[in-house]
């Protein structure tokens, strides 16, 4: 199966029969529903197994914290697109699949996962994806698994794509609406709007951040320490709907990610019920991957409740 003892131990821990729930840093514990009390908790292996800065890949146990990953990569001038609380585990962040504020520039978190080893419901160690930054060999199980809340398999080990750390970073604050000013900029990392003022995150080469910052200064912007505090309830819409969400107050007081569609508000936005074929596909996938529903019971990716 595998020569790695920590992976073998995790396979044994997950077992084959009873309900199990993988616990990481508990930083997004109730997303998708509270896990069933009857489920036995297990923890994924942690630690950096392999890091090749020149290859731009890093292999690590799914139980590794974001802080440990970031420290290891920062020492070599790299990072990943995985963002979250420092004590969150990489496996947990991928299982929930929520991207960070940089999504507008660097893309969603799911595109960082190159290879995943997970323990299946029947106790086998499965490898999905591959160790290279480019790969179309077979089906994209990695995409299926990101955001699956651990209901299709228990993440054991991942290979992530790394990227160079940006040299310069600045947060800017301007009064007024974000749309015209965002259109003037080239790939800002984030554009946030709270209905009254706009916050912009510039990252990149020193020269580029300076040039874009000058544009913002000319529009009356000023540099600030960081983003505004984000209200606790997370929702999402199409980016074109953000103006209406802010104007109509559907989510209460909110901060929205322009160009992305994520809403940080006081209450969740109503969602349309999923279409019947989608519900059916979810049921079929669950039946294939976890027929007895023993993996992370109580969590339902299709009706993920919004919480902090």
Partner 1 sequence: MVRAVCDDAPMRIGRSRTKATAPVHDGLRDELAAALGDQHVHTSSIDTALYARDASVIDEGATSVVCFPATTAEVQACVRLAAAHGRPFVARGSGTGLAGGAVPCGGAVVITTTRMDEIHEIDIESGVAWVGPGVLNLDVTRRLAPYGMHFAPDPSSQQSCSIGGNVANNSGGPHCLAYGVTSAHIVALEVVLPNGEIAMLGGLDAEPDGYDLRGAFVGSEGTMGIATKIAVRLTPNPPTIRTMLIDFEAVAQAGATVSGIIAAGIVPAAIEMMDALTTRAVEDFVHAGYPTDAAAILLVEVDGLSGGVEHDLQTVSAVARANGARTIRVAADEAERAMLWKGRKSAFGAIARIKPNYYLHDTVIPRTRLVEVLAQVYAIADKYGIHVMNVFHAGDGNLHPLLVYDAREPGMTERVHAAGKEIVEASLAVGGVLSGEHGIGLEKREFMSLQFSEDDLEHQAKLRRAFDPFGIANPGKVLPSGASCGDVFSMTTEQQRALRDGGVWL
User: What is the bridge-based pairing of β-strands 168-175 and 197-204?
Assistant: antiparallel
Q: Which is nearer to partner 1, 8 or 143 (CB)?
A: 143
Q: Which is nearer to partner 1, 5 or 138 (CB)?
A: 138
Minimum CB–partner distance for residue 155 and partner 1 (Å): 14
Q: Which is nearer to partner 1, 32 or 46 (CB)?
A: 32
Q: Which is nearer to partner 1, 152 or 233 (CB)?
A: 152
Task: Record the tokens describing residue 115, joined without a space.
Answer: 């290879």
What is the Cα–Cα distance from 306 to 235, expressed in whole angstroms? 7
- The residue among 89, 67, 154, 86 whose CA lies nearest residue 116 is 154
Q: Which is nearer to partner 1, 57 or 64 (CB)?
A: 57
Q: Which is nearer to partner 1, 131 or 228 (CB)?
A: 131
Minimum CB–partner distance for residue 214 and partner 1 (Å): 11
Task: Record the tokens describing residue 149, joined without a space.
Answer: 């809340």
Contact 295, 152 (CB under 8 A): yes
Minimum CB–partner distance for residue 247 and partner 1 (Å): 15
Minimum CB–partner distance for residue 231 and partner 1 (Å): 16
User: What is the bridge-based pairing of β-strands 190-193 and 233-236?
Assistant: unpaired
Minimum CB–partner distance for residue 74 and partner 1 (Å): 12
Minimum CB–partner distance for residue 21 and partner 1 (Å): 19
């Amino acid at each position: 199966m595998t020569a790695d003892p920590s992976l073998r131990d995790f396979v044994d821990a997950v077992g084959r029969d009873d309900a199990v729930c993988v616990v990481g840093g508990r930083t997004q514990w109730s997303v998708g529903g509270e896990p069933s009390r009857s489920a036995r908790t297990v923890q994924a292996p942690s630690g950096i197994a392999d890091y090749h800065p020149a290859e731009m890949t890093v292999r690590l146990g799914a139980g590794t914290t974001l802080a440990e990953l970031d420290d290891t990569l920062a020492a070599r001038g790299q990072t990943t697109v995985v963002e979250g609380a420092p004590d969150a585990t990489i496996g947990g962040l991928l299982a929930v699949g929520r991207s960070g504020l940089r999504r507008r520039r660097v893309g969603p978190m799911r595109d960082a996962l190159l290879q995943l080893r997970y323990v299946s419901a029947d106790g086998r160690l499965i490898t999905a994806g591959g160790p290279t930054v480019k790969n179309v060999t077979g089906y994209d199980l990695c995409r299926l698994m990101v955001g699956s809340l651990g209901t299709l398999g228990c993440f054991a080990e991942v290979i992530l794509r790394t990227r160079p750390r940006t040299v310069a970073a600045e947060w800017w604050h301007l009064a007024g609406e974000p749309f015209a000013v965002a259109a003037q900029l080239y790939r800002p990392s984030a554009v946030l709007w709270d209905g009254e003022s706009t916050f912009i995150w510039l990252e990149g080469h020193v020269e580029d951040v300076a040039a874009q910052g000058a544009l913002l200064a000319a529009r009356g912007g000023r540099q600030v320490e960081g983003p505004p505090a984000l209200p606790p309830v997370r929702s999402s819409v199409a980016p074109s709907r953000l103006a209406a969400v802010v104007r109509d107050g559907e989510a209460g007081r909110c901060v929205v990610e322009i160009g992305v569609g994520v809403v940080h508000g006081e209450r969740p936005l109503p969602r349309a019920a999923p279409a019947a074929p989608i519900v059916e596909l979810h049921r079929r996938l669950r039946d294939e991957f976890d027929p007895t529903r023993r993996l992370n019971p109580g969590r339902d990716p299709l009706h993920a409740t919004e919480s902090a």
